[in-house]
Amino acid sequence: MFSYASNSDPVDESTCGRQAGFTLIEMSIVLAILGVILSSLMQPLGARLDAHKRADTEALLRSVIQATKGYLSLHRKLPCPASSESAGWALDNCAGDRAAGYVPGTTLGIPGPRDEQGLLLDSWGRRIRYVVSASDHSSRGQGSFPDFTSVGEIEDVGLRWLRSEIVVCESGVVSTCPRQSVRANQVPVLVYSTAENVAPTADQQENLDADAIFVARDYSRRSGDEFDDIVVWISENEFIYEWVKSTM
């Protein structure tokens, strides 16, 4: 038969208290250690997620550039940007300030996430921007028709006299890019993502100020020097190569 302790059996309360207290201390130590481990893991995990988003967005931008080259070969001109009301279709005319807008993803047939207006989005859910040269030669071609985006204008002006106003610079500037800071000159078309937009630094604001100078440089989160825009373009020589190839 089993023997049960009666209510009168002595109980060592001090021992129970010590055991319970020891268990709580152990739990608090374990939780503290877990907190340190999780904290140390969160920052690298965030960095990896950010790097993944940047890689995906850059790949999408490069697919836009490739599709734009295909459009050039087929239509013998560059597409105009899309507007916030054009559902991803390229505008028919993009003279002046209409040369800066959003990727004409529907016209180019680019797969990827879209917003409610049909505009292509980057990994942060922001619209991908598209800028094409609005240059119009003063004496060659038809007047008031942008050279790079109007039917027949590239032939009428001639490759030798085509000039784009778009410049890619290594740092933000007011009106001109110093020669030593130029990354690319005479750029016909450029696409970019503002990414997470970590801080409104001068270099990042330069890409939003509606002029023809754009900044492309290394990613940085250094305080006061943040830069996370992703910028991709067709160079002058790439444009000429694609154009000549399409005529052969």
pLDDT digits (tens, 9 = 90+) for 72-88: 999 999 999 999 999 99
Between the CA of residue 97 and those of 43, 52, 88, 101, what are the distances in Å?
A: 41, 33, 18, 9
Range of the domain at 189: 31-247
Number of domains making up the chain: 1
| Cβ–Cβ < 8 Å for 198, 186 | no
How high is the pLDDT of residue 239?
Answer: 96
Over residues 164-172, mean pLDDT: 91
**pLDDT tens digit string along 208-235?**
988 999 999 999 988 888 999 999 999 9
pTM value is: 0.81
pLDDT class for 246, splitting at 50, 70, 90? Answer: confident
Over residues 29-56, mean pLDDT: 76
The answer to whether residue 103 sits within a structural domain is: yes
How high is the pLDDT of residue 150?
Answer: 95
The answer to whether residue 230 sits within a structural domain is: yes
Q: Which residue is listed with tokens 């087929």?
A: 74
The answer to whether residue 16 sits within a structural domain is: no
Over residues 134-145, mean pLDDT: 88
The answer to whether residue 19 sits within a structural domain is: no
The answer to whether residue 166 sits within a structural domain is: yes
pLDDT class for 1, splitting at 50, 70, 90? Answer: very low
Over residues 231-240, mean pLDDT: 97
SS3 205: helix
pLDDT above 70 coverage of the chain, percent: 86
3-state secondary structure 4-43: CCCCCCCCCHHHHHHHHHHHHHHHHHHHHHHHHHHHHHHH
The answer to whether residue 2 sits within a structural domain is: no
The answer to whether residue 3 sits within a structural domain is: no
How high is the pLDDT of residue 31?
Answer: 75
The answer to whether residue 192 sits within a structural domain is: yes
How high is the pLDDT of residue 81?
Answer: 98
63 CB neighbour count, 10 Å cutoff? 16
